[in-house]
Amino acid sequence: MTPVVIVGLHRSPGHNFVGRFGLPAGTHPIDSLERLRFLADRGIEGDRFLDHAPGYKGQVTFYAAEVHRALCEALGVRREPSACRRNVIVEGVDLNDWIGRPFTLGGVAFEGVEECRPCSWMEEAVGPGAEHFLKGRGGLRARVLSDGWLELGPTTWRPSK
């Protein structure tokens, strides 16, 4: 088991960037919450990717607070981690270690699928240079394997079988 801290929980009802190539970003808010409900093989209740597609690899996205702080420092900007539109912001775990592996966070089971690769919209959402900086450390896309709730604060991250 690895002790981690969940420092941010976010969801958005709509897409601001997906499907908007050549258009300005959308205006859907990102909600910062103290608790999020996860639904097995569906995603996050109330999020834009809920029921996106059966087995969708990005039902939830994780992002490291340590990476975000380094990003802001490198670019000389101040942005909240929610600017990157990831769902669960954690401290204390290397997310790339969990690509292709099942794990449990705070009692909810997930399967790490792939890096949450940054896209060109990061330049607008965070600042020039963000997309390049985040290559290889943009976060983790995962599937939700069990129903449950996550809350802000200390919890544990562990491999699951």
Domains of the chain: 2-11+33-159 (2.40.33.20)
pLDDT digits (tens, 9 = 90+) for 16-57: 455 545 655 556 668 899 999 999 999 999 998 888 888 899
E-assigned strand segments in 2-159: 2-11, 31-32, 35-39, 43-44, 60-64, 88-91, 102-105, 108-115, 140-144, 148-151, 153-159
Q: What is the mean pLDDT of residues 58-86?
A: 91
Q: Which residue has the higher pLDDT, 19 or 160?
A: 160
Which strands form 148-151's sheet, in the order they lie side by side? Answer: 43-44, 35-39, 148-151
Highest-scoring range by mean pLDDT, 110-119, 125-134, 148-157: 148-157
What pLDDT, on the 0 to 100 scale, is given for residue 16?
45
| Strand 43-44 to 35-39 pairing | antiparallel
Q: What is the mean pLDDT of residues 95-107?
A: 96
pTM of the model: 0.89
